[in-house]
Structure 1
């Protein structure tokens, strides 16, 4: 398992990056022990709200194999519209790892950062489970219009995503093991 923490178009945030590296190492250890599955290679990117959409959509396009420029521009517009509300996202990568993009504008302190980090790392663990990665990639391909799913498969995917979110929210209490003030 490799771990990489970096920034994207975020200047003057050196201390934030050092804190994020320290918290990420601790969070990976805690989540790996507490959640079923195997921790994949994780790449964490810290970015601001205005650059969040471009990082996430580029990773989604690569993973889904989307090359249509119309679809790419439509998904980028949609992502920009919702970027203000996003604290973090976990996206499966084409190479088998997981990209976690975190919006630093949403995290005023270590406690909120730890909660978001634990939540997204739980999603990374869910990717490593049986059929988890394939299911998420099929959902991405469906959302981008590359390969459509049947209605039944789409509903099943929505139910599974709902269960995954419920599990991730249920495991946010693990953040208190990383930062004591992070009572979720």
Structure 2
């Protein structure tokens, strides 16, 4: 398992980057012990809401193999529309790793950052489970119009995503081990 923490078009956030590196290393250890699965290679990218959409959609396009410029433009527009409300996203990468993109504008302190980080790391652990990565990539390919799936498959995929989201929210209490203030 390899962990890298970096920034994207984020200047003057050196102390935030150092804090993120420290918290990420601790969070990976805590989540690995507490959640079923195996931690893949993780890339954590800190960015603002303006650049969150372009970083996450670029990773989605690469993973899904989307080359249609119109679909890319539509996906980028949709991502920009929702970027203000997103605290973080985890995206499976083509090489088998997971990209976690964190919106630093949504995190006023370490406690909130720790909660988001644990939530997204749980999603990273979920991708190592049997069939989950393939289903997530097929979902990206379906959303980007590369390979359409049936409505039945789409409903089942939505149910699985909801269950995975519930598990991630249920595991956010682990952030209290990272930063005691997150437990409050």
Gaps of 5+ in 2: none
| Cα distance in 2 for residues equivalent to 1:126 and 1:173 | 17
C-alpha displacement of 1:47: 0.1
Mapped pair 1:36 → 2:36: yes
Structure 1's consecutive aligned runs of 4 or more residues displaced over 4 angstroms after TM superposition are: none
SS of the residue corresponding to residue 99 of structure 1 reads strand
- Write out per-residue CA displacement over residues 102-135 of structure 1, whole angstroms, 9 at most, x where no aligned residue: 0000000000000000000000000000001000
Gaps of 5+ in 1: none
Aligned residues, how many? 184
TM-score (norm 2): 0.99
C-alpha displacement of 1:183: 1.9
TM-score (norm 1): 0.99
1:140-155 aligned at under 5 Å gives the runs: 140-155=140-155
- Write out per-residue CA displacement over residues 129-162 of structure 1, whole angstroms, 9 at most, x where no aligned residue: 0001000000000111110111111111000000
| Cα distance in 2 for residues equivalent to 1:83 and 1:135 | 24
| Cα distance in 2 for residues equivalent to 1:83 and 1:155 | 25
Q: Tell me the equivalent position of 1:109.
A: 109
C-alpha displacement of 1:25: 0.2
Q: Tell me the equivalent position of 2:175.
A: 175
Pairwise CA RMSD: 0.6
Q: Tell me the equivalent position of 2:85.
A: 85
| Cα distance in 2 for residues equivalent to 1:31 and 1:148 | 34
| Cα distance in 2 for residues equivalent to 1:137 and 1:128 | 13
| Cα distance in 1 for residues equivalent to 2:158 and 2:7 | 31
